[in-house]
Structure 1
Amino acid sequence: MSLQTEQRQHIDTLIQLSEGRETGLGACREVIRRSWARCVDEYRLDPSRPRPVRVLTQQALRDHQESVDDLLHVARAGVDQLHAQVARLGYVLLLTDHRGITVEFRGQRHRDRALRKAGLYLGADWDERYAGTCAVGTCIHDTRAITCHHGEHFDATHINLTCTAAPITDPQGNVIAVLDISALESPRSHESQNFGLSLVTLYARMIEDAYFMHRYRDCLILRYDTAREFVHLNGRGLIAIEEDGTLIAANGSGRALIGEHLHRWPPWSPDRMPSITQLFDGEISDVLGILSACGDQIRAFRARASDATCFVTLIEPRGRRVAARALPASPAPVPALDRLASDDPAMHRVLKLARRLRNEEVSVLITGETGTGKEVLARALHDSGTRASGPFVAVNCAAIPESLIESELFGYLPGAFTGGRRHGMRGLIQQADGGTLFLDEIGDMPLPLQSRLLRVLAEREVMPLGAETPVKVDIRVITATHRDMSRMIGDGHFREDLYYRLNGAQLRLPALRERADRHFVIRSVYEALVAEREQATRLRADAMSALLAYGWPGNIRQLKNALGFALATVEGDEITVHDLPEECLVDAPPATLTLAQQGDEAVDDDGQVLHELLQQARWNISQVARRLGVSRPTVYRRMQRHGLVPPNRRG
């Protein structure tokens, strides 16, 4: 079909639209349909009379360029980079102001005449009110990125063009410029422009953020992202603040975060703007102290509106150091508590409260899944408080047989019952006198004993079995459970009055899979195990990646067991992904996992075959594991099943 025929058909379609008949619109996209309707109904454009390209005079163009001079200064690097990527594909680049006037242009010199004729040139006016439906004009009207491809243009003279545009907005969300790439010829498929749309949107955001940084260069700026690795390089959110935490302005992602807090967006509402500590769960001292308190100058905070973890860094005003003079005095370090976490927001809240409670006599209930480190936190509370010189007595209520728990806790006098010690025994509660009694898995304490424990807490005295006179005790009680205590109380399995005695303050430990500082936890556990074993072994990156990807249903306890296993079985001086237990290999190829999980039915279950493989590899277990596509633990298990022992370990 000739271009003239296509143009006539296009004009006929738009004339039908102007006459109220939409039968020819077919599968026209809704965004284009609305723009065509505006062109006909609001702008009174006549589709049968295509309009010539409008190009401003040199003086008028200079006036438009001067009005966006600051933006042009910032945008040129991004414009050049984008053009370098798309020029070889036949695209030219336009940067327009908020009225659709092209104030910056990158073209193709050998096609200069054709580009001028099409309006793809410096000074061209792409306002929708004049040029009709087009990428720039429709982008300005709708404040959204858009591709206007071939026949989607309103003006029939433009139906061979493909144009993709994205808005650049100011901190209030108003369009201040449009970034556009256009081509005189392109494939007919609309999908052929999808990548261009993503690319233009990306560069528009980069220019927008660079302009934000330039405009607020004399302010404190928070830069954040949901991925720690991208914060310094390309953090999505930018928020300018005063030194007291008052918000000044934000980029698009920042405005969305503020909008979540205000429950409405737009419009921009400076009189209702929250402070930075209302957006993020933390104190202003935590924010101002990011650069000095964190090694990589990034700190994790919880976004209050969405409960998402955001990794935040601080950009200081040009030429002056705000944090150094504005940062309130940091609280004294508490090593026993400080070493339990890095910058996980949930752990930050737990440890902040723990610091306040460490010297108080209030009872503390620690909750969390099994293996999250409840006893470790309880001991840290004890070691960091005024009772640190006293005993720390830990009792696992689920591990002591029900028939013995009463005598273990309360003690007994000589002859109190058959089978007891001849001289009696001081119970664990008495042993904790002057220090801390930690009752782990308190939810498993038998109901009859709960009444006796309640008396201990109320009277601060204990009655050993067989005694007639109670013994005074000076203890602080910390308890822990992984159970749903509210449900247990409702089911009649736990005394409500005892629960409120124990729950003077509650500390909830997050699961390992929920923590933003998993890398810190893994490294800390690993280094502690290496120090215990005096073992010069390093953790290779592929093993760390597998550990970070795993869900850890058993939490830190399971992590410690997995690393302990790897250290016990590793053959060289580094732990690789093949040294980890099989359940940690969530990222292994499906075929590998299938073979590793076949157990007794594995193809190498023939002991002779396995023996030959081991001999060929000179008993290098790692090499055999790689050849079979299984983990080293699997090879060890099958060697044991077949009684295969390396020569250097035979007696």
Structure 2
Amino acid sequence: MSTTPLTTHHQRQHIDTILRTVADTEARTPAQNEAGIIARSWRRCIDRYGLDPARPTPARYVPGATLREHQDQADALLQVARAGVEQLYRQVAPLSYVVLLTDARGIAVQFLGAKSDQREHQRTGLYLGSDWSESHAGTCAVGTCIHERTALTCHHSDHFSAHHIQLTCTAAPVFDPHGQLLAVLDISAYRSPSAKESQTFALQLVKTTARMIEDAYFLQRYGDRHIVCLDRSREFVQINRRYLLAMEEDGTLVAANTAGRKLLRHHGLPLPEAGEARPFQAWNIRDLLDGEVSEVLAIPQHSDDRVQAFHTRRHREIHFATLIEPPRRPGANRSLPRDSSLAPLEALAEDDPSMRDTLTRAARLRNEPINILVMGETGTGKERMARALHDSSRRRDKPFVAINCAAMPESLIESELFGHEPGSFTGARSKGMKGLIVQADGGTLFLDEIGDMPLQLQTRLLRVLAEQEVLPIGASRPIKVDLRVVAATHRDLRELIQAGRFREDLFYRLNGASLRLPPLRERADKGYLIRQIFAELNEQRGSRVRLRGDAMSALLAYPWPGNIRELHNALHYALATCDGDEVVVGDLPEECVHGQLAHPGASQGQALSTATGSSARPLHQDLLYRALCRHQWNVSAVARELGLSRPTIYRRMKRLGIVPPNQQMAD
């Protein structure tokens, strides 16, 4: 084996240890423990991969286009894993760890780390797009975890390459519902105590988080089936959900999480081992539990805690079971009355508790002859709520007239609201005009930003509400109207009343009932709203663009100060500026990417741009220009850095008016 000169005595010792260990293990099989795992990996590195411990292996990154392919293939997992990866990072970031999520081939498809250590991340390979397969990087937590399919810590000199011996890395596998390796979760640090025992807690933390990600993926993948959750403890079965079994209505088992597959094997129901290509064996829940399928399906009605105890058939062990039932219909809320006319209200939210309470109240009020005041921050969807109230009521076939009291000029608002007779004032229409209030007769009048209505008009509006009639300007006889008024405001009307800027009697006329909309940052159903609005915009544009997982992660992490209106604008922007048939994180407005924990799911280029202090979006003219200058106008190098294709770079240069210096000189 050829060697190259080494820089430190420590590295020479490391190489000698590897060579001695490999020689010693030629005549015997290493023990089935972590030391044995490391020894087996060292031998594979030399015998199978032809690696040389004396030749430090530099970090290797896949090209941007290849990284996007890996992210696309892991898209469903990335959307589910985001919360777990970010939670893990928050726990380990104070100890200077980074977090990597790689796919089953060892390519880092998600990364979180301190931006201040950006260069060190890239140099060492603890970064997005890096290749940690054992065949390239040698013995390491990710690559060896992939090969051995078990969690492990690769600490300092456990690594094969001398390039990595300063690192401590801990990884755990994430399996799909059939036991195939789906991903590897890893935390790594540049500085740590020399004793490997210092990483014991890190190993447990990564294993726990990997299991959470795996189970969340399982629950999403089989959300349309009945899922039986089992545990040995009644108190923890609904929280811990240790064993997960997905089944059909007749009790046929279709999948199980890792713990569930072990449980089935323990009770004599053989399943393929992890990594085998054989399909899931279709056992029935009756083969495991001593009970009928009907008993399992009736668990939610069985007791107050929705838990039932069963014996297992083979070992007669007691397991406590609870059942997650599939939704009866997507987006529907069982707490709302069963009425098809409620669809407009149901579409406003999915499972956010505050919104569901608000919508339950709205459903009960929609046909009542009282006015409603909708409150919430700017952009929270107050007009959407007003229109949904109208569309779900018996007035749905009558007009819905919306008036923005803040946007209408004070000089025109009176005639616009109440109408006028011919020639009743200078500039009046020759044929007169029917006011917006009269136009809303029989339907719903929506008064947006009611807090900005001038005081003198508040008095006239109060009379309309009290007498259900309107007197146009210049008319001698009032017109009877049948109105349902929905008013909206982001202001505190009680404060305006105290300041003398809003009539108290009008407030009580408008506030027959109130509905409060939560800000988007506090809603639990942000993902639903993002998908819904994205689908609406796609339909309006006649396009079939998809929203990739890295973009969804950035959208979910952003606090949305402008609420749903800002979300709508951001998605509209992304659809208008994206290249091809998908929206990626780089297509989002700059502010939607800036300020995340680091750059989860972003491309290398977006992360690199934050290190140079420029915009997080590669669409930004200054960012692209700087990248081109940094690489002496080598478009291929810029494409690799920004994680984009060369044609995309050329298109964006043309769109942004960026011309290479040699072309400028020629011109």
TM-score by length of 2: 0.49
Higher Cα Rg: structure 1 or 2? 1
Asked which structure has the greater RCO (Cα within 8 Å, sep 6+), the reply is 2
TM-score by length of 1: 0.50
